[in-house]
Amino acid sequence: MPEVTFLLTDPGEGLVEAEIVSLRVTEGDAVDVNQIVVEVETAKSLVELPSPFKGVVRKLLVAVGELVKVGSPIMLIDTDETPPAGLPKTGKMPVSDVRDGGHDTAKNTHPRDTGSSKDIHDAFGKEDGREIDFGRNVLVGYGPCEDNARVRGDDITGRPSLDETLERPVAKPSVRKFAKELGVDLYGVKPTGIGGTITRRDVLNATSTQEEATTRVPVKGLRRQTAQNVTLSAFSVPHVSVFVDVDVTRTIELVDRLKRDPLYEQVRISPLLILSRAVTWAVKRSPIVNSTWSEQEILLHKSVNLGIAVATDRGLVVPNIKNAQCLSMLDLAKAIESLVDDARSSRIRPEDTLNGTITITNIGVFGVDSGTPILNVGESSIVFIGAIKPRPWVVNGEISVRRVATIGGSFDHRVMDGDTASRFLVNVASILEEPALLVE
């Protein structure tokens, strides 16, 4: 029976690469169609990928921790159900459902020896797989494969990829093992041996040097994607920022009343809920803020897909609530709570982060009064609320202590001028100052 190649698929986010988090099978395992075989981390979420084939895993072509391009081979599967000679046929490994908060706790194994660069190119320069149309029953689809997609053989052990020009460090196997045990990257070791060979003493010297040197943190996954997005936005979109201080005392009073309301007792309530409603209310009066710049035209969106910026252990995630303008206060509170919980537990689905139209962020939870947030790519507005603090405030000609916060935002100056952004922000502020206006 033929040997087929399982490729890394696009999980529906339009991304080009993903990090291998866990491999749910080993060489020699029998797999069924739709059995989860690999878990990957994209820039937005953890995704489990099922096998589109039934057969036996012949060879794993990637290792845990490797960054792999979409369309690259993940593993070879022999569609003959008989295990290859010399390889035991094992049962299925237990699979945890990421959507239910499960997590694969298996320890990463040492990467396998994938042979030389030439062997890898020879192996995948041939038609050793086949294309199969699995229809709608297979829960996986293949994204576009770039012409230069390849197996990153040297990358499997964290060494440079095939197209990099760094020379492979020269060291005896025993020295390589010694360096691996100490966690020393041989590419950063200065050789003193004959012919540029790295010795054990070189490794020891590098250990003391590396302990004193700056720690190097790989840029990958969500951090890489965030860096790319904010760089693109910051240097391609002219931002204009406006701010206003607001007496939010009545917003706090409303939040307190909602917390005591039996209808809301199962939902977390915070000023972010009132800000969300204020933004959707203000968008009706300034529709241009809910739009996308497209060079030849400005796209005004009828739906308010409200992005909620969430700080997670992995980094910043911005899922959005579709058609937020249509939701009741209670439904909006439930939607915010659900998205925040999913984001912090890495259960966000790809579709939750797509097609956002405007974003809000609560930087006040970090004790910050103000800031200048960067626009989400494809959006024209982002609104923040700062820390809510007691401040002296003039009310009816007299000074009293009120709960005050700074709200502000950044806007795409190509789409709107400062007066439009200011009017929108003042409308948002008016709701926070007097939430009763929402009953209009």
Task: Please report, for the domain that includes residue 202, its CATH number.
Answer: 4.10.320.10
DSSP labels for 198-237?
EPHHHHHHHHHHHHHSPPP----HHHHHHHHHHHHHHHHS
268-290 burial code (b ≥16 CB/10 A, e <16): ebbbbbbbbbbbbbbbeebebbb
**For residue 3, what pLDDT is reported?**
86
pLDDT tens digits, 313-348: 888 999 999 999 999 999 999 999 999 999 998 888
Share of the chain above pLDDT 90, in %: 52
Do 140 and 277 fall into the same domain?
Answer: no
> Per the structure, how many domains does the chain have?
3
Do 110 and 204 fall into the same domain?
Answer: no
Residue 268 lies in a domain: yes
**For residue 384, what pLDDT is reported?**
98
Q: What is the pLDDT of the chain when averaged over all its residues?
A: 81
Among the ranges given (98-102, 230-234, 322-326), the one the predictor scored with the smallest mean pLDDT: 98-102
pLDDT tens digits, 236-269: 999 999 999 999 999 999 999 999 999 999 999 9
pLDDT at 219 over 60: yes
Which residue range forms the structural domain that includes residue 201?
A: 170-212
Active site residue 110: no
Residue 34 DSSP code: T
Of the three residues 115, 132, 157, the one that is the final residue of a domain is 157
**For residue 11, what pLDDT is reported?**
64
Do 175 and 236 fall into the same domain?
Answer: no
Residue 308 lies in a domain: yes
DSSP labels for 131-170?
----TTSSS--PPPPPTT----TGGGGTPPPTT--PPPPE
pTM confidence score: 0.61
Residues 100-116: what's their mean pLDDT? 41
Residues 393-420: what's their mean pLDDT? 97
Which CATH number belongs to the domain containing residue 435 in this structure? 3.30.559.10
Do 141 and 185 fall into the same domain?
Answer: no
pLDDT at 397 over 60: yes
Name the nearest CA neighbour of 290 among 428, 386, 432: 428
**For residue 250, what pLDDT is reported?**
97
Could you tell me the pLDDT band of residue 1, with boundaries at 50, 70 and 90?
low
pLDDT tens digits, 137-150: 333 333 444 444 33
Residue 13 lies in a domain: yes
pLDDT tens digits, 158-193: 444 434 445 778 888 778 888 888 888 888 888 998
Do 234 and 350 fall into the same domain?
Answer: yes
Higher per-residue pLDDT: 36 or 209 = 36
Do 349 and 234 fall into the same domain?
Answer: yes
Could you say which of 103, 121, 239, 413 is catalytic? 413
pLDDT at 349 over 60: yes
Do 379 and 248 fall into the same domain?
Answer: yes
Higher per-residue pLDDT: 227 or 111 = 227
Do 280 and 398 fall into the same domain?
Answer: yes
Whose structure tokens read 């093992």? Answer: 177
Whose structure tokens read 């072509």? Answer: 61
DSSP labels for 387-402?
--EEEEEEETTEEEEE
Do 139 and 84 fall into the same domain?
Answer: yes
Residue 163 lies in a domain: no
Higher per-residue pLDDT: 294 or 210 = 294
Higher per-residue pLDDT: 394 or 170 = 394
Residues 19-32: what's their mean pLDDT? 90
Residue 412 lies in a domain: yes
Cα angle 195, 201, 202 (rounded to 5 degrees) comes to: 55
pLDDT tens digits, 415-440: 999 999 999 999 999 999 999 999 86
Residue 218 lies in a domain: no
pLDDT at 196 over 60: yes
Which CATH number belongs to the domain containing residue 18 in this structure? 2.40.50.100
Do 279 and 180 fall into the same domain?
Answer: no
Residue 232 lies in a domain: yes
**For residue 133, what pLDDT is reported?**
41
Do 233 and 188 fall into the same domain?
Answer: no
Residue 344 lies in a domain: yes
Do 179 and 273 fall into the same domain?
Answer: no
